[in-house]
Amino acid sequence: MRPTLSLDGRVAVVTGAGRLGGIGAAIAGELARAGAAVAVIDLAAPTGGTADEVEAVAREVRATGGTVLTAAADVRDPEACAAVVALCVEELGSCDVLVNNAAAPHGASGVDIADIPPEAFALQQDTNLLGTFLMTRSAVPYMRAAGWGRIVNIASIGAFRGVRHRSAYSATKAGIIGFTRNVAIDVARSGITINAVCPGMIFTPRNAEAPSTPPEQAHNTRTRFSVAPLGRPGTPEDVAHAVTFLASDLASYITGQTLTVDGGLGTALIPE
């Protein structure tokens, strides 16, 4: 049988997927359209300040005809990670695809290196890198038992392209790439692949127009995000398409790799 993009019968777990218009939500929707049942995992689901938004993401995914589970998990917590993966297996039947998308906001770490509080650096490290490790460690035993698995880690072009005031964030994303390469060796003989996707400048609700954003500021933001050679900002769907490919049988001979989704930004010298 020829490999296809179809994920019919598969179960996908996506962390950090509880924000409308975000990369995680787009990934969850695209995996569902490919046929997977999807677990939308977020720090706030199903209770918390953004619980309504998490459920709104779930409704959007269900509207594609997909089966959706929402669950809460703090990816910094080993017990929470183990429990949420076990819940997905219990409720949906398996854990075939894991997308480690959860990431901490820049917050207090988005400043000059001399001014970053240690706790702000730790938040980036614990959410972005430790969280990727903990969720992967929790999912791999189920994938090994099934003899099939796909893990896709969301890194960033910041892992290999310097950006002012992003040292903490970029360090964790570089760590994710190194982690991905090494885990690929550990799990290869178990039918599991693991790869990283590095988004470039992706236009999401964190940086896009909001009701309180002045029109001129929104325009400047979109212009700043259009510096890639392809001449437009990336969209969450651009990242989701790459993730879906890596999760499918079409990518069965790709592991330990880093796929950059940046509109060519990494190939060009662009002034800040």
- Of 4, 5, 14, 6, the closest CA to residue 61 belongs to 14
Residue 45 φ then ψ, to 5°: -90, 145
Taking the C-alpha atoms of residue 130 and residue 197, their distance in angstroms, rounded to an integer, is 17
Point out the residues that are catalytic.
169
Helix segments in the chain, DSSP class H: 23-33, 51-63, 78-92, 118-124, 131-146, 167-187, 215-224, 236-247
**Residue 86 tokens, joined:** 């076990």
Non-local CB neighbours of 233 within 8 Å, separated by 6+ positions: 201, 202, 203, 222, 225, 226, 263
